[in-house]
Amino acid sequence: MAGHKKYDRVAKVFDCFRKGDMRRWGPAQRKLFRQMQGNVLHIGVGTGMEIINFPPGLNITGIDLSPKMLERALWRGKQYQGKIRFCLMNSESLAFPDNTFDTIVTVCVFCTVAHPVQGLKECGRVLKPGGKLLMFEHVMSKNLVYGLSLKFMSLFTGAIEGTRLDRDTVENVRKAGFRVKSEQNVYLDIVKTIEGVQ
């Protein structure tokens, strides 16, 4: 699958880089994830680190475009107290029928999707009427100093792994046809939780 190789390369060390983030962001993630219900799509599973913060008893489909990331997510999936399956898939072209899911969850994904609005439109397509889009994402800061720093950092993160820390993800959610029901800062205005509805 095109675009997966850079993520395959970092799969072995991914957990080491994210360990600190998981400690800091765990409480905010669990609060957001309490809204998960029904048939759930988790976009950008990575190595599955967020699974520990999911409520039990759900029916979850997790997708990622990296085979190596999904391999590492398997053992975390086995520990989940509910149903979870993994699929190799690109968020920009979801292989699901319209109106399939009650909830879609993303965690630090739409800073890496090559065409984020297209990916979000696909979310809208496979989400049932009245369903929820729950996002925990890096976003561009409105603070001038932070914003310039994020643009500078994105020159390197974009080249290395395709991550853009300077994206206006909240606006991209709106461009994709969602109404932003809630937008909460987790860390300054750089990491946010976003709840979208159609």
127-144 pLDDT, tens digit each: 999 999 999 998 878 877
What is the model's pLDDT at position 54?
97
Work out the average pLDDT over 53-61. Answer: 97
What is the model's pLDDT at position 2?
45
What is the model's pLDDT at position 31?
96
Per the CB < 8 A criterion, the answer to whether 10 and 161 are in contact is yes
| 3-state SS record for the chain | CCCCHHHHHHCCCHHHHHHHHHHHHHHHHHHHHCCCCCEEEEECCCCCHHHHHCCCCCEEEEEECCHHHHHHHHHHHHHCCCEEEEEECCCCCCCCCCCCEEEEEEECCCCCCCCHHHHHHHHHHHEEEEEEEEEEEECCCCCHHHHHHHHHHHHHHHHHHCCCCCCCHHHHHHHCCCEEEEEEEEECCCEEEEEEEC
Cα gap 45→11, rounded to integer Å: 12
Q: How many domains does the chain have?
A: 1
Place of tokens 């994402």: 137
User: What pLDDT digit, counting tens, does each position of 135-179 carry?
Assistant: 999 887 887 776 677 676 666 655 556 676 678 899 999 999 999
Bridge partners, residue 186, by sequence: none
CATH of the domain at 120: 3.40.50.150
Tokens (6 digits) for 196: 């979208």
Work out the average pLDDT over 114-120. Answer: 95
Domain that holds residue 12: 5-197
Confidence of residue 16 (pLDDT cuts 50, 70, 90): low
